[in-house]
A and B are shown apart, each in its own frame.
Chain A
Amino acid sequence: MTQTGNRTRDPADRSSTLFDLRYLIGGLFTLYGVVLAVVGLFDSDAELAKAAGIRINLWVGLGMLVVGLVFLAWARLRPLKHEPADAEADAER
């Protein structure tokens, strides 16, 4: 998820933003969610029958998408503070 790092300009901030785990979780789940939901829309009848008639790819995809977006929003709205040792330590190296 390297693109998440581009959101900040200051190079000293960059590594700590990259290492904000919420962006990694949010990015991965958003991507998984979109892919599954799209696949789910086009699932064949055989695949539907296998999953007891449920469009499981679509529903799980939508669920993961929501989780992913919540993490991205959380990371965006409450960024890592720079007083705690963890943000500092990550930024220095």
Chain B
Amino acid sequence: MSSILAAGRLDVNALDYSILALYFAIVVVIGVLARRAIATSEDFFLSGRSLPAWVTGLAFISANLGALEILGMAANGAQYGIPTVHFYWIGAVPAMVFLGLVMMPFYYGSRVHSVPEYLRRRFNAPTHLFNALTFAVASVLTAGINLYALALVLRSLLGWPIPLAVAVGAGFVLAYITLGGLSGAIYTEVLQFFVIVAGLVPVVIVGLVSVGGWSGLQAKVESTVPNGDRLFSAWAGAQAGHWTNPLGDWIGIVMGLGFVLSFGYWTTNFAEVQRALSAKDLSAAQRTPLIGAYPKIFIPALTIIPGLVAIAVVPNLGKDGGPTYNDAIPELMGRFLPNGVLGIALTGLLAAFMAGMAANVSSFNTVFTYDIWRPYIRPGRSDRHYLNVGRTITVVGIVIGIGTAFIAAGYSNIMVYVQLLFSFFNAPLFATFIIAMFWKRTTPWAGLAGLVAGTVGAGVMHLASYHIGYFYPGGNASNHAEINAQMANFYSAIVAFVADAVVTVLVTLVTKPKPIEELRGLVWGVPDPDAPDAAQAKKPRTWWENPKILGFGALALTAVLSIVFL
């Protein structure tokens, strides 16, 4: 990772810096205003459950639209082309709709503070602790990726060395999370969403025009890359047995990415679910991921197209001696954007970094405080004590994130690393949740055993995949650098899911289930008669507030686009 921007440092002037400075001034204003609204730990961690759906919905998508997502998906776009849409249309939208329509009533209606807390009430304390710990580890690892992604941007902007850029970026995030808590983070995320889009649109427009439109892009890429036509078809070469699609066969894409990884991430990752839990009522909580799904459908245009343009116009992208795939967007910014929009694009990228890292850190401090510190380390203290713990642990999380940023620096395509983390930490969770929610007999100890089995299964499969010829483009497992890492990750996720599911069922059959009274509101078919939201959620006030219409609308739109880009 020692590449330097081929186009040289970005040509930034006073106008661009003013645009950037104004944005950060607004972020500070939001932090200060949010701080005035914080009186209790619930205000700090869940925004007092008071936010309207359009705010939590855009924050939901923005929390995922970190610099990691933008740089990483552009890297995928450059490396894999159009098949990258699978990460959006297969790998996100269906799961977001499922979260909103099916799972949100359990989360929001049971008034839990976090995803691990759901596991404590559904299963037992050991399951809860295991999940809280793995989530905490995953959060700081992911925070490190976002920090590293920022450092890449700062390096191309100012020529700073990566370590300095990492430290300064960490300082920014620290300032605004400790200032504003989750409200500050969520409000800022909504603002970020619009700035990120405004910054990426000019890159796409100028990039496309400069290569002669869509057909010109296709012709240029095909003349640059061997078998370049593969990059323009989402499903070509995805047959099982003898795949040539850059993402491997359809089993990995549909089952590994689309089912296990996607549902695992979107429905159980607390950094996402937390945004919905801070909505003002159940209906708003359900609409949170559904409102987020619509922008998600169109974001690939802002990430994959720049990746493809970069392949066409940046010499040696992704090759030895050239810039890495991760540099695709900064390269295009340097080439195409005049001062002014350059400042907007830069602000968008830096904002995106803040969005991603702040989401990781704010969910990390919630889980640490509510799910590790309060139940197991210092129970029964005052609310003020936990609020202070939350603020302190934010600092600790960011410091650890600085360390993990250097792990991320070891991967040339950061999305590969991200999917690896997800296959370890998120894939097993989804198996446990889906069985727990729909099979009320599932026993407390089955929860723990299933999660452990799933995580171990993913680990074993990850190590084994390097020795299986099927995961290599030529079928030959001799050179480990040639492995199709994404495909191997998809299969690791499938193994994690199956291991978790099998062990959960087996252990359930030999252990004692929870009494049904303790499961009210937590499992399908056992409603909680005291749940305050049940009646209200059934009556949407207008048709556009109806979660079902929103959800199926998103699915239909995705289906149409999938056919267009088949």
Contact = CB atoms under 8 A, between A and B. Distances in A.
Nearest to A90: B37
A72 interface: no
Contacts of A47: 338-339
Interface string B23-40: 100100110011011010
Contact of B336 (A36, A50, A93): A50
Interface stretch (B45-53, B464-472, B540-548): B45-53
Interface stretch (B204-212, B373-381, B435-443): B204-212
B256 to A, nearest CB: 38
Contacts of B36: 15, 90, 93
B280 interface: yes
Contact of A93 (B39, B205, B339): B39
A56 B202 contact: yes
A36 B340 contact: yes
A77 interface: no
A69 to B, nearest CB: 13
Contacts of A63: 198, 201
Contact of B206 (A15, A28, A39, A52): A52
A57 B338 contact: yes
A24 B29 CA distance: 9
B275 to A, nearest CB: 14
Nearest to B19: A32
B23 A28 contact: yes
Contacts of B39: 93
B15 A84 contact: no
B90 interface: no
B55 interface: yes
Interface in A27-64: 28-29, 31-32, 35-36, 39-40, 43, 47-48, 50-54, 56-57, 59-61, 63-64
A51 B209 CA distance: 9
A67 B280 CA distance: 26
Interface string B322-339: 000000000000011111
B552 to A, nearest CB: 27
A68 B460 CA distance: 52
Contacts of A36: 340-341, 344
Interface stretch (B96-104, B187-195, B486-494): B187-195
Contact of B48 (A21, A54, A89): A89
Given A15-B33, A15-B36, A86-B280, A52 B210 contact: yes
Interface string B303-336: 0000000000000000000000000000000011
Contact of B190 (A2, A21, A54, A59): A21
A19 B39 CA distance: 16
Nearest to A67: B194
Given A21-B187, A24-B191, A64-B198, A51 B336 contact: yes
B559 to A, nearest CB: 29
Contacts of B341: 36, 51, 56-57, 60
B205 A56 contact: yes
User: Interface residues of B toward A: which range?
Assistant: 35 or more
Given A1-B29, A25-B191, A56 B51 contact: no
Most buried by A among B19, B202, B335: B202
A1 B26 contact: yes
B22 interface: yes
B19 A84 contact: no
Interface string B71-93: 00000000000000000000000
A67 B190 CA distance: 14
Given A21-B191, A29-B194, A93-B36, A51 B340 contact: no
A51 to B, nearest CB: 5
Contact of B338 (A35, A51, A93): A51
Contacts of A21: 30, 55, 187, 190-191
Nearest to A37: B340
Contacts of A43: 338, 340
Given A24-B191, A51-B338, A93 B206 contact: no
Interface in A65-93: 67, 84-86, 89-90, 93
A54 B209 contact: yes
A36 B33 CA distance: 28
A31 B18 CA distance: 12
Given A60-B202, A89-B37, A93-B36, A84 B280 contact: yes
Given A24-B29, A25-B194, A50-B336, A86 B202 contact: no
Given A35-B340, A54-B205, A63-B201, 6 more contacts: A1-B29, A25-B191, A32-B344, A36-B340, A64-B198, A90-B36
9 contacts: A21-B190, A35-B340, A39-B339, A47-B338, A50-B337, A54-B209, A57-B340, A59-B205, A86-B280
Interface of A: 1-2, 15, 18-19, 21, 24-25, 28-29, 31-32, 35-36, 39-40, 43, 47-48, 50-54, 56-57, 59-61, 63-64, 67, 84-86, 89-90, 93
Which 5 pairs of residues, A with B, have the shortest CB-CB distance? Answer: A47-B338, A86-B50, A52-B210, A57-B340, A39-B340
